[in-house]
Amino acid sequence: MKAPATLFETSPGEVWLEIGFGGGEHVSAQAQANPDVGILASEVFVEGLAKCLSDIEEKALKNVRLWDEDARELVDLLPEASIDRVFILFPDPWPKKRHHKRRIIQPDFLDALSRIVTPGGRLRFATDVRSYADEALEKILTHGAFDWQASKADDWRRPPEDHVRTRYETKNLGDIAPVYFDFRR
């Protein structure tokens, strides 16, 4: 079952979900490059929402819908096998060990994602924080619903061809060069 067509003016060929879009650079660039794709995007920070809304209006994007609450709530509302791609790009790393339980990549969230991602659908996770990269990769691989698509180190060390750098990514605040983990359901 796909996301309800009434979310978009025309019925999209695919529906993509971006979780924690920050300033929305990736959202608006992907929407502009893929006008036949419906893009759902979740962000809780008002400044990021405002920036993304400004881009949507300026570029007259008709294929983006924003969610201003916790992404986990949105994922719980989505129908089974309704999302073709999920982007989780440079999420809050919750760097203190005692806060790691707040990181979005957790077994229960992976259960929820595996429910909404179509068979053959894709998940991209990117970070520049070593502890989060290691933990996320281990949790996703252990979960088993998603197959890592890397066959060589450059597959995760270099940005994918369709990647759009975000404002956060350009700040280089992490402790490693960015890694890009692509998975298939």
Q: What pLDDT, on the 0 to 100 scale, is given for residue 94?
A: 60
pTM of the entire predicted model: 0.92
Per residue in 76-131, pLDDT (tens digit) is 999 999 999 999 999 877 667 676 788 899 999 999 999 999 999 999 999 999 99
| Total of domains in the chain | 1
- Work out the burial of residue 3: count CB atoms within 10 Å of its CB; fewer than 13 is exposed, 13-18 middle, 19 or more buried: buried
Q: How many Å is the maximal CA-CA distance in the chain? A: 45
Q: How far is CA 44 from CA 39, 61, 149, in A?
A: 17, 21, 30
Q: What is the CATH number of the domain that holds 104?
A: 3.40.50.150
pLDDT band at 1 (very low <50, low <70, confident <90, very high): very low
Residues of the domain holding 36: 5-184
Whether residue 166 contacts residue 41, with contact meaning beta carbons closer than 8 Å, is answered with no
Residue 66 has pLDDT above 70, yes or no: yes
Catalytic residues: 92
Q: What pLDDT, on the 0 to 100 scale, is given for residue 93?
A: 74
Average pLDDT, the chain: 91
Amino acid identity of residue 7, one-letter, is: L
